[in-house]
Amino acid sequence: MSPELLNVLEVMLNGLLAGVMYSLVALGFVLIYKASGIFNYAQGVMALFAALTLVGFQTGQIPFAHVINTMFGTHVETWGPGVPTFLAIILTIGVMVLFAYLVERVVLKHMVNQAPIILFMTTIGLAYFMEGFGDLMWGADIKTMDVGLPSGASTWFETTTASWAAEGSNYPGMYVDMLDVSAAGIAILLVVVLTLFSQYTKTGRALRAVADDHQAALTVGISLRTIWVIVWSIAGCVALVAGIMWGAKSGVQFSLSLIALKALPVLILGGFTSIPGAIVGGLIIGVGEKLFEYSIGGMLGGATENWFAYGLALFFLMFRPQGLFGERIIERV
């Protein structure tokens, strides 16, 4: 195969891996939207907060250190060497479940049957709140995420692809980061677990019932509140996984919360209510972005990624207003 083709392949492969990351975040959105009709903009910030908490536990950081220092003039930093990664993950999951419980108890309880736009705005309020809270709790400096995932260029990939190249072309082989591969693996695993959960378990079915109509679900005896706590906890864990992956790739910092904006076009493509839609949508966007940048992007001055996804989604919307897998919206008079 000619080097150009290989280069294209490489770009597509990286696109696919990036796509997996997008669909991972999109998954969190879909879960909450399916179960509560809320388009949770705070999913991105939850990922940031989860990552910060995890790093905090790993490095033994004292929460609200900065606040305590200014209040009492102390200079305390850490309480000890920190906790092994595995335990830190368990603790973070605990924190996220607590967070889900609090959100339902304080905020969502009052918001039953509110207009979607009002619910959407509440989650933006929640995002602002979490951001401020996260910075106060763990400080705003950039942290490195290390959970022992293999990283760095994968030599295996490099050698096999190099052999595909035609003799005599000095094609160096594809550069693929092991981190992306492992991230893809975990993501696929997570998707399988979640699809099984929502299709076949009792709570899964209750979750889908609530998504259709709050009141109808209430009438058949589904406790809306417990379902919401469960859903937000699962979304919290998905956010943690996304936080770990993105954190390992580009460090735990504020920009991580912007990945929510990346997930939006994925949701458009895949439709707000279908899990397979989120996965396929993410992959299409990932590949599309990289390909567009690789081919035409250069001429337009580069960095087209941040708007291309939206352009593609918009183009799609014109033909199928409810996205790839969403149900067809029929309006009655």
Partner 1 sequence: MLYRESGDFKTSYSADQQTFPIRLDRHMVYGILAFAFLVVPFLINDYWEKSVLLPFLVWAMAALGLNILTGFCGQVSLGTGGFMAVGAYACYKLMVAFPWLNMFVVVILAGLITAMVGVLFGLPSLRIKGFYLAVATLASQFFLIWLFNKVPWFYNYSASGMIAAPERTLLGIPVTGAEAPPWMTYLFCLTLVTVFAFIAHNLVRGRIGRSWMAIRDMDIAAEIIGVPPLKAKLSAFAVSSFYIGMSGAMMFALYLGSAEPSDSFGIAKSFLVLFMIIIGGLGSILGSFLGAAFLTLLPVLLKNIMVGGFGWPPDLAAHLELLLIGALIMFFLIVEPHGLAQLWRVTKERLRLWPFPH
d(CA 108, CA 333): 31
For partner 1, which is the closer residue by CB, 66 or 208? Answer: 66
Nearest approach, Cβ of residue 133 and partner 1 (Å): 5
Tokens 């939206």 locate to: 310
Q: Judged by CB under 8 A, does residue 294 bind partner 1?
A: no
From the list 20, 25, 127, 283, which residue makes contact with partner 1 (rule: CB under 8 A)? 127
From the list 87, 166, 193, 314, which residue makes contact with partner 1 (rule: CB under 8 A)? 314
* Measured CA angle at 302 (ends 298, 305), to 5 deg: 115
> Count of CB atoms within 10 A of residue 76's CB?
10
DSSP 302: S
Q: Judged by CB under 8 A, does residue 303 bind partner 1?
A: yes
Q: Judged by CB under 8 A, does residue 112 bind partner 1?
A: no
* Amino acid at site 299: M
From the list 84, 94, 132, 298, which residue makes contact with partner 1 (rule: CB under 8 A)? 132
d(CA 4, CA 111): 55
Radius of gyration of the chain, Cα coordinates, nearest whole angstrom:
21
Q: Judged by CB under 8 A, does residue 117 bind partner 1?
A: yes
Query: Site residues for partner 1, window 228-257 (CB under 8 A)?
Result: none
From the list 48, 267, 275, 287, which residue makes contact with partner 1 (rule: CB under 8 A)? 267
> Count of CB atoms within 10 A of residue 143's CB?
19
3-state secondary structure of 261: helix
Nearest approach, Cβ of residue 151 and partner 1 (Å): 30
Do 120 and 41 touch, CB atoms closer than 8 A?
yes
d(CA 190, CA 186): 6
Nearest approach, Cβ of residue 278 and partner 1 (Å): 14
Do 55 and 250 touch, CB atoms closer than 8 A?
no
Q: Judged by CB under 8 A, does residue 101 bind partner 1?
A: no
Span from 156-164, 229-237, 278-286, 315-323 in contact with partner 1 (CB under 8 A): 315-323
Span from 120-128, 207-215, 216-224, 236-244 in contact with partner 1 (CB under 8 A): 120-128
* Measured CA angle at 329 (ends 276, 123), to 5 deg: 65
Q: Judged by CB under 8 A, does residue 92 bind partner 1?
A: no
Do 325 and 269 touch, CB atoms closer than 8 A?
no
d(CA 311, CA 289): 10
Q: Judged by CB under 8 A, does residue 124 bind partner 1?
A: yes
For partner 1, which is the closer residue by CB, 85 or 304? Answer: 304
Q: Judged by CB under 8 A, does residue 310 bind partner 1?
A: yes
Binding region for partner 1 (CB under 8 A): 39, 66-67, 70, 107, 110-111, 114-118, 120-122, 124-133, 135-136, 140, 261, 264-265, 267-268, 272, 300-304, 306-307, 310-311, 313-314, 317-318, 321-323, 331, 333
